[in-house]
Structure 1
Amino acid sequence: MTQHTQTGGPRVAWVTGASRGIGRGIALALGRAGWTVYVTARSSGGAATSHLPGTVDATAREVSASGGRGIPVGCDHGDDDAVAAVANRVTAEQGRLDLLVNNVWAGYERLNAGAWQEWNAPLWEQPLELFDAMFTHGVRAHYVTTALCAPLLIDTPGSLVVTVSFAVAEQEQHTFAAYGMAKVADDRLALAAAVQLRPHGVTSVALHPGLVRTEGVLQFAEHLDLTASQSPEGVGRAVVALADDPQRATLAGQALDVAGLATRYRVDVTT
């Protein structure tokens, strides 16, 4: 069923890092709910950026096939001008942005390429580019996209910002130093944005998925217990339900656990 705005058109979302993984799952769930979805990532024009499958073009086609409208845009989220160009395009083409999903994340690229031992090494044995990837194409990308979209979000009544993060246990924050720092920073960004955007009618939250069966995670299935894991589109269903919640503003600034949202909204996040 297509979700319409008060002005009659479908609601508009921008999901960053949506060529694969959680971003793709959120985009597909929004498509099934009838949203217009701008799908951005570097993987465009049929060319993937790693051995893992997925491009923005493929995701956008699936969004459209599922009942929404997918709009693919190749974008390097480390390039501020490229991000600004997408924000300007959404403004020009839609004049509104009901949902921004900050999901782009380069922190797993080396791990997905097989650097399992590197991921578990102490910080002085990890390459500095691992830290840079998590912050430049993670936290900073989320900050920049939120800042550039703020005027359009403010002009869209009841808009929502979801920053995908993760609940890193205190012990693991010490074990995975750069990763823990990045995720805590994302949570703080969501909180700061909530405080500053709340007077303008915009809700900002952080989202904490559990273990999600992304393409990257499934590479290491033999090392993981996937019994209670979530699916990428299951995470997306939780986001759709949150966007549909007329009381979502009461959750502003919080880090929302996907399993908790599944209970709150009675949605299946496992399949």
Structure 2
Amino acid sequence: MSEKVIYKECCVIGCGISGIAVARWLKKYNFDFVVLEKSEDIAGLWRYKENDYGVMSFTHINVSKYNYSFSDYQFPKESVEFMHHSHIYEYAKSYMKMHNLYDYTKFNHQVILLEELNKSDVLYSENLKFQNMDNYERLWKLTVKVENREIVYISPYVAVATGHHFAPKHVKFPGQETFTGEIIHSVKYKNAKFNKMAGKKVLLVGIGNSSVDIADNLVTQGECTSVTISSKSGSWVFPNYINGYTTDLYPSRFMLSLPWQY
């Protein structure tokens, strides 16, 4: 094999919030691990990038700080309960520093291929670092792009922490090809001014968190001629606070008892 090969007990793909949490506990239990992050910095979606995939300029967390924090590193009592994305980013950076996780993180390392190795593979030789295969069910090969070259990591454990919002879902509608207006995915929306929404009629398809956030921004700052949300089903919309407490502090069993549609 011509590529440079590096052996690790565990490889973590992605250094967003989930990847950081995984890395912290791998370090605590003395794993030999590495975090592979394709960009130049941490925090994934929570790092605002004006011309790239990530949060909107006005995004705040939609759960309170009590339910969106690392178990061993709570937010300060004086901090607001629904924080701006910039505070989440700084919080993640301070957590990385507290546990020295930067020492285990490789930036601009993009995993382009993850594949299981067969026992007949040439890598299963007497010189392989993981010689006692009885301790592991399998080995994984990660091909990683670093600038204009590729390196290979071999590991018995891989934690995929790329996030479920990693790949935007684009929907095709009948007649879309003849529509003369502009169609964008919510990941491309930063704010009404940046996206030049003034004077436009806007239809938001779906009633998820991003849709409601964008609608609020368009109505309050967009100077649009109209803003409409289209949803194929009903939705339960709760305020951030009920009786002075953040809504997500109430037992979740009540929320789960509500019908999904009405």
Structures share a fold, TM > 0.5? no
The structure, 1 or 2, with the larger RCO (C-alpha pairs under 8 Å, 6+ apart) is 2
Bigger helix share: 1
Bigger strand share: 2
TM-score, length basis structure 2: 0.29
TM-score, length basis structure 1: 0.29
Larger Rg: 2
